[in-house]
Amino acid sequence: MFELLNTIDSPVDLRALHVTALGPLAAELRAFILHSVAKTGGHLSANLGTVELSIALHYVFDTPNDRIVWDVGHQAYAHKILTGRREAMAGIRQLGGISGFPRRCESVYDTFGTAHSSTSLSAALGMALAARNQAQQRHCVAVIGDGAVTGGMAYEAMNNVGVYKDLPLLVILNDNDMSISPPVGALRHYFGKLTANRCALSVKESLKRLLDETPAVRELAHQLEAQFKGLASDATLFEALGFNYTGPIDGHNLDELLPTLTALKNLRGPQLLHIVTEKGHGYTPAATNPVLYHGPGKFDPAHGIDPPPPSRPTYTQIFGDWICDEAEMDPRIMAITPAMREGSGLVEFERRFPDRYFDVGIAEQHALTFAAGLAADGLKPVVAIYSTFLQRAYDQLIHDIAIQNLPVVFAIDRAGIVGADGATHTGAFDIAYLRCIPNLTLMAPADENECRQMLHTALCVNGPSAVRYPRGTGNGISVSTALQALPVGKGEVRRISARPAGYRIAFLAFGSMLIPALEAAETFDATVANMRFIKPLDGALIEQLARNHDLLVTVEEGCVMGGAGSASLEYLAAIGLSPLVLQLGFSDQFIEHGAPEKVLGLCGLDASGITRSIEAFLSGHDMAFSNDDGATDDSLRASA
């Protein structure tokens, strides 16, 4: 089935093929990607759209000496297959398998890790200047999607690139009229106008070449070129930034791609090639519905993706229902997303409240300051954002929102383990980077209903507030339609130990860790507190537990360093208490990709892992438990 593809173990093999074999190879590669992703799950639509481009780049350029940076890296499956990882695709995004994104540690052909967007131009510029400063001859290519180019960092890089007139740097704008959600903003219309003006641009370039070849009329050529630039003025944005603009061309037509790339390779100075591709190209269901097929699970390619069976609502759905309910009652509610309409659960909100829905594109910094502007003039903005993407707007969070104490609500999805997307998407750091910010309230729900009530609580806080919740479904707790604000900074006791003094353990469980903590508590007959608030902490509850128990165990789905457990220790130190404390969470390392339940177990954050950690801690401190019953602390029982 894959006769040609099976002979390609590196780009060296690819470059040995006659050019007439590249079309059949593209057909095989596209079929391989479809059937591979159908078996494993992963990113599909974007990768079906970059097959010909991947072949052309590795055919024309001398990789890995020439550098290719993919942005965003979820469009690089064809690149991975052509660079020796064909067989490894069977384990992509699985524990111990290859990543779904480029990784420098995985292959010499993965020149830069690009799982977040809009970074390729900066990286490629750095590589080009590194080559120049070390007297090395190489080309650097940045492949950036039309969604990723909405990020401001791309334009910061373009502004910088334009001052280097002789660098061998090529930017390929892969314009497929899609981000993860449909693209938004003025740039979408700009690229559309460029494509519509393709005929005028072709005339301009043809005339320019013809006249430049005639020395006697070269001056006239320059004058005519200026006039044609006026005719096709949409190309001048990139030209004004110092690029030589070419395109748009058909990104699925190798007869256009190969000679164009070859010609651009031989030109000096920054080049920008605008290609037009189709997300999901070659597989009708994906081309028709690229959002559905952006990152599917396993499916039958012959049948397509079936609607998922009814299941417990996800936390994302809880958020989506909540914000619609709040918006129905309060016209000041505004929803903001940085290009994650589906992922953040805002599809229904956009349908019902289109004038109060704002997709700002892949522009997290702008999203936060835009929200600050709305809040400054009396509205109630809710920013729906992934934990890992909020990192990209930290300065705006502090300077534009927190310092001014503006009431912006952050609905932080994907807090904790995310699974197959791995380290770049794991929400490991939000507790640590949020809790140190003055004026900010931070909550972590233990279940679906608590999530809804915490989101409502966040709206009631007079200042910035955040609710962090995990990916996927909860534990099946029924969700009340009522909306009731929780008392800020107050936790609750969910289980009380009956052990005597000298043998008592208390869990301080934050957010999603309540359920495994309750399960592990059965082994030790431990007290369990659902802390609810990370900032402000329930200091009174922590002090009470510390005075009446012999070991405190803090457990959180986030990094230990600077996390909620650290906050608890800081509080205890401030009041002069120094009980034994075991902190459980993510250790000082990045979390690898894999099935969430497996990864959580490897991190020691399932019930059995928590139990093992406590047993090891007790053994190291020569502590043991008797089976004697003892009196239960009445004040704890009253708070349970």
pLDDT in tens, 29-44: 999 999 999 999 999 9
- Tell whether 55 and 126 lie within a shared domain: yes
Kindly indicate the confidence band of residue 622, based on its pLDDT and cuts at 50, 70 and 90.
Answer: confident
User: Looking at the 3D structure of the chain, how many domains does it have?
Assistant: 3
538 lies in some domain: yes
Judged against a pLDDT cut of 70, whether residue 590 lies above it is answered with yes
Distance CA 49, CA 174 (A): 9
What is the phi/psi pair of residue 622, to 5°?
Answer: 50, 40
> Is the link from the previous residue into 301 a cis peptide, with omega within 30 of 0?
no
237 lies in some domain: yes
Say which DSSP state 339 is in: S
The predicted pLDDT at position 208 comes to 52
- 554: CATH: 3.40.50.920
- Tell whether 99 and 166 lie within a shared domain: yes
Which of the following is catalytic: 341, 392, 414, 532? 392
- Is there a contact between 147 and 76 (Cβ–Cβ < 8 Å)? no
SS3 555: strand
Which of the following is catalytic: 80, 85, 86, 279? 279
% of the chain exceeding 90 in pLDDT:
83
How much is the mean pLDDT over the chain? Answer: 91
DSSP notation for 279-326: TTTT-HHHHH-TTTTSS--S-BTTTBPPPPPP-PPBHHHHHHHHHHHH
> Is the link from the previous residue into 24 a cis peptide, with omega within 30 of 0?
no
- Tell whether 536 and 604 lie within a shared domain: yes
570 lies in some domain: yes
Exposure letters 90-117 (e unless 16+ CB within 10 A, then b): eebbbeebbbbbbbeebbebbbbbbbbb
- Domain end (from 288, 307, 323): 288
C-alpha neighbours within 13 Å on the C-beta side of residue 560: 16
Distance CA 2, CA 412 (A): 43
- 169: CATH: 3.40.50.970
- Joined tokens for residue 433: 């980077």
- Tell whether 277 and 390 lie within a shared domain: no
217 lies in some domain: no
Query: How many other C-beta atoms are found inside a 10 Å radius of the C-beta of residue 436?
Result: 12
Q: Which of 512, 54, 537, 472 is nearest to 251 (CA)?
A: 54
Which residue spans within 348-418 are E strands per DSSP?
357-359, 380-386, 409-413
- Tell whether 590 and 461 lie within a shared domain: no
Judged against a pLDDT cut of 60, whether residue 627 lies above it is answered with no
- Tell whether 366 and 425 lie within a shared domain: yes
- Tell whether 464 and 496 lie within a shared domain: no
- Pairwise pLDDT comparison (196 vs 101), residue with the higher score: 101
Lowest-confidence region among 277-281, 307-311, 440-444, 580-584: 307-311
Judged against a pLDDT cut of 80, whether residue 137 lies above it is answered with yes
Q: At what angle do helices 218-231 and 198-212 cross, to 10 degrees?
A: 170
Distance CA 325, CA 315 (A): 15
532 is catalytic: no
What amino acid is encoded at 211 in this protein? L
Q: What is the mean pLDDT of residues 296-321?
A: 92
Q: Please, which residues bridge with residue 559 across strands?
A: 586
pLDDT (tens digit, 9 = 90+) per residue, 2-21? 999 999 999 999 999 999 99
The CA-atom distances, in angstroms, between 52 and each of 23, 247, 318, 443 are 8, 16, 41, 47
- Is there a contact between 367 and 383 (Cβ–Cβ < 8 Å)? yes
223 lies in some domain: no
Query: Which residues lie below 8 Å from residue 369, measured CB to CB, with a gap of 6+?
Result: 396, 400
- Tell whether 500 and 453 lie within a shared domain: no
- Is there a contact between 427 and 387 (Cβ–Cβ < 8 Å)? yes
Query: Which residues lie below 8 Å from residue 9, measured CB to CB, with a gap of 6+?
Result: 84, 86
- Tell whether 452 and 370 lie within a shared domain: yes
- Is there a contact between 148 and 117 (Cβ–Cβ < 8 Å)? yes
225 is catalytic: no
pLDDT (tens digit, 9 = 90+) per residue, 469-519? 999 998 899 999 999 999 999 999 999 999 998 889 999 999 999 999 999
What amino acid is encoded at 580 in this protein? L
pLDDT (tens digit, 9 = 90+) per residue, 238-256? 998 999 999 999 999 999 9
Q: What is the mean pLDDT of residues 344-348?
A: 97
364 is catalytic: yes
307 lies in some domain: no
The predicted pLDDT at position 221 comes to 46
Q: What is the mean pLDDT of residues 160-189?
A: 79
Domain extent for 586? 492-639
226 lies in some domain: no
Q: What's the chain's Rg over C-alpha atoms?
A: 28
- Tell whether 237 and 102 lie within a shared domain: yes
Query: Which residues lie below 8 Å from residue 20, measured CB to CB, with a gap of 6+?
Result: none
Q: What is the mean pLDDT of residues 622-630?
A: 52
Dihedral sign (CA 335, 341, 344, 345) = positive
Distance CA 268, CA 151 (A): 26
Judged against a pLDDT cut of 60, whether residue 232 lies above it is answered with no
- Tell whether 246 and 338 lie within a shared domain: no
State the burial class of residue 166 (Cβ atoms within 10 Å of its Cβ: 0-12, 13-18, 19+).
exposed
pTM: 0.89
484 lies in some domain: no
Distance CA 386, CA 405 (A): 22
pLDDT (tens digit, 9 = 90+) per residue, 387-411? 999 999 999 999 999 999 999 999 9
- Tell whether 500 and 423 lie within a shared domain: no
Query: Which residues lie below 8 Å from residue 5, measured CB to CB, with a gap of 6+?
Result: 25, 28, 29, 32, 81, 86
Which of the following is catalytic: 52, 278, 364, 448? 364
Kindly indicate the confidence band of residue 548, based on its pLDDT and cuts at 50, 70 and 90.
Answer: very high
The predicted pLDDT at position 147 comes to 87
Judged against a pLDDT cut of 80, whether residue 375 lies above it is answered with yes
C-alpha neighbours within 13 Å on the C-beta side of residue 48: 26
